[in-house]
Amino acid sequence: MYPESMSNLIKIVEKTRKERIAQAMLPPLSIDEKKTLLSKFHPDYKIEKMRQLQVGPNKGDKTPHEIADIVEAYSLINPAKYKVGSPAYETDVLVIGAGGAGVAAALVASEAGAKVLLATKLRLGDANTAMAQGGIQAADRLEDSPVTHYLDVVGGGGFTNIPELVRALVMDGPSVIAWLEDLGMMFDKDAHGNMIEIHGGGTSIKRMHSARDYTGGEIMKTLRDEFLNRRIPYLEFSPAVELFTHKQRCTGALLYNLETSELIPVRAKCTILATGGSGRLHIQGFPTTNHYGATADGLVIAYRAGVPFLFMDTIQYHPTGAAFPEQILGQLVTEKVRGLGAHLVNVEGARFVRELETRDAVSAAIIRECEERKKGVTLPSGLSAVWLDSPVIDIIHGEGTVKKQLPAMWRQYIRFNIDMAKEPILTYPTQHYQNGGLKIDEFGRTPLKGLYAAGEVSGGIHGRNRLMGNSLLDILVFGRRAGRKAAEEAKTTDFGELTLTHITNYHKELRDAGIKPERFSPMILPDYRPEHLRHKTAPIIP
């Protein structure tokens, strides 16, 4: 429930609403306007928040301090003391991660005849995929085309994307939607059975497929059910803490059982990393929309094995993270709210940016409104935010639209006696997505033989900024491609030895750079206790 001071400010929003609805949408930013806005206000441009890496394949490149801290750290495993012994499991394809990318990879690899083992840090399906809300892009209508989708993707990414990755993304899009339907996913459709598609930020045509605002949850449920039906073996609560390598090839991974503290060596002909992103590092102190396992483990273990990063100096901050009440600080307010017509307005009730600009531009505009222009709403916490005038949706589309099209959002707020169909909500950017990641080709192959990557752990697909709906497409396109190619490679590949020689070499590089063994990674899970109660991540095998 809003306190009285905020309720009075809502009256200003209500007073300007009729005039705003009558006005046309604000014009898009020019290229120069966008460049200026981003350079002054987007977090990626804060040079003091970055530093050069001192070790590894990206030595000399800049990345956020939080990423550098976990990369410039010693392994949880001391390779001089850990004796591998016989593997606990041997498999053709080891998939690490059980979100959309990992489960899609496992399904396709198994279908291609490979023996598959999936391992995940938490439970099957505990991933950002299940939390995604707004939709999934795909150019599957006559008036659209993969070419137009391609142009939108590279435009949104600042024309920095890797072309062959974008081509794979957009060309596979229609078949991914058909695949999901064949598996039983329930998309939003009209009375005639046609897909209901809407705009997202940066799209030139409506191509966003959705399942209300539970799209990611519906995808994950569909994939998980199929995975369980096929009885593919899997291990829960077993994150990977290192990769095994031998003669410049990945030969498997070392898992760590969170319940028993047991180390589990797995030998695999091919390994697929689908470990997700880094939201729980809280880069630059931002809250996050991400699930608790998003601690960049895959980045750490692959980088130590020699896989380079792409675009690891850019993080996506979703423009509309929940800012009030504090209990849901940072949780996602899906872009679909703006796609349905909600206005972003300041404390004076005025719109200040075109709502469906690309996410980096909208985030920067909100930060500018609050920090430079001082036109944000001051919250009880002392933070500042802007209004998202959600009641406009029902006015435009008819009463009941918010509840029908945004049931998850509506329930998120009604728990606190805020009816977003009748009252505006308060938002501020929140860390949402890892634009960069591991270098891959169009089949998900990394430069390390036998190692693949799919989903948010990989980089290059989205360039420096991702458009809404392309992450759910990304995880399925490249999860499927990696699974298919890994199964194919496994047919002509023998098992290799399980060694940690690359860790010995990496530790030497750290010592030569003057980095003391005071930090250890991967993080595995975040620690939210007060600073004086926290324990530094300690090595498993000291």
Among 68, 39, 64, residue whose Cα is nearest residue 50: 64
Residue type, 445: R
Provide the 8-state DSSP code for 530.
-
Q: What residues does 445 pair with on adjacent strands? A: 452
**What are 407's two structure tokens?**
């049931």
Determine which one of 338, 432, 466, 481 is catalytic: 338
Q: Which of 361, 352, 355 is nearest to 34 (CA)?
A: 361
CA distance 376 to 353: 14
Per annotation, catalytic residue among 149, 207, 224, 318: 318
Collapsing DSSP to helix, strand or coil, 514 comes out as coil
Q: Which run of H or of E encompasses 112?
A: none
Place of tokens 């860390």: 431
Q: What are the structure tokens assigned to 377, written together?
A: 């709403």
Q: How many CB atoms lie within 10 A of CB 542?
A: 11
Give the CB-side neighbour count of residue 498, counting CA atoms within 13 A. 22
User: Is 246 marked active-site?
Assistant: no
- For residue 72, the Cα-to-chain-centroid distance in whole angstroms is 23
Dist CA 434 CA 464 (whole Å): 10
CB 6 within 8 A of CB 277: no
How far is it, in rounded angstroms, from Cα 114 to Cα 333?
40
- Is residue 338 part of the annotated active site? The answer reads yes
Q: Give CA–CA dist 405/198, Å, rounded.
A: 12
Q: How far is CA 51 from CA 59, 62, 63, in A?
A: 11, 5, 6
Determine the Cα–Cα distance for residues 278 and 132; give it in Å rounded to an integer: 16
At residue 303, what is the residue type? Y
What residues contact 386, with CB distance under 8 A and at least 6 apart? 344, 345, 346, 347, 352, 366, 369, 370, 376, 377, 426, 427, 428
Peptide linkage before 522 cis (omega within 30 of 0): yes
Select from 128, 194, 232 the least CA-distant residue to 456. Answer: 128
Phi and psi at residue 425, to the nearest 5°: -120, 160
| Whole-number Å distance between alpha carbons of 120 and 221 | 16
CB of 410 closer than 8 Å to CB of 132: no
- Which residues are known to be catalytic? 318, 338
